[in-house]
Structure 1
Amino acid sequence: MRVSEVNHALLEPRLSNGVSNKALGLCWGPAAFIAVLAGSVSVYYAAIPLGISAVLHALLAWAYKKDHHIFTVYVQYARMGKQYHPDSRENLPATYERPAKFGRGVRM
């Protein structure tokens, strides 16, 4: 039995400014690169990708605030979507069947 309390802050993902580090890099990295390239033409052109990235960051922060694990779930579903079998009565191949007298035909 657990003696110490569970700190729920340790169970949640680590966020920087409300967004995960991976999303933060994907949001601001390309915008900074384009801003540097556009800054050679005009300072005003450099502000356009930074403004777009700020709006995108605000949307991502809102999505992470709603559910911390939403993008992890989306990625997992994208990887496993084609391997998911919703039919619980489907006959499995012989290699995946349980032994006789041990719940053969019962899906987990």
Structure 2
Amino acid sequence: MSDVLWDPYVRDCPSRRLLDRIGDRWTVLVIGVLDGGPRRFSEIQAVVDGVSQKMLTQTLRALERDGLVTRTVFPEVPPRVEYELTTTGRSLLEPLRALTEWATANMTVVQASQEAYDRRG
């Protein structure tokens, strides 16, 4: 364990990049899909409506690089690839679930506020 104190309020702190990653909508949705266990790329893409192949590839690679997802290639023809949450990735489930629940519970109020604001403009 490192004795480094990370402070996302400091401009160059690497924890800011991590916050960017876990706050990204595609990350939130991919982590949520992988809560159900290992998934193939096409399965993830089918569940996460609207994500492009390029964006899903970028998101999965970034999550793998950050140690939140593992990518397993099975020696088959054609090769089968599955993505799965690591222990660290699984530790994100509860806070991201809370964020998702908050967003869906408050969307009506937020939408009404946006419409009221836009009418004033």
TM surpasses 0.5: no
Structure with more of its chain in strand, by fraction:
2
What range describes the TM-score normalised by the shorter chain of this pair?
0.3 to 0.5
TM norm structure 1: 0.32
TM-score, normalised by the number of residues in structure 2:
0.30
Larger Rg: 1
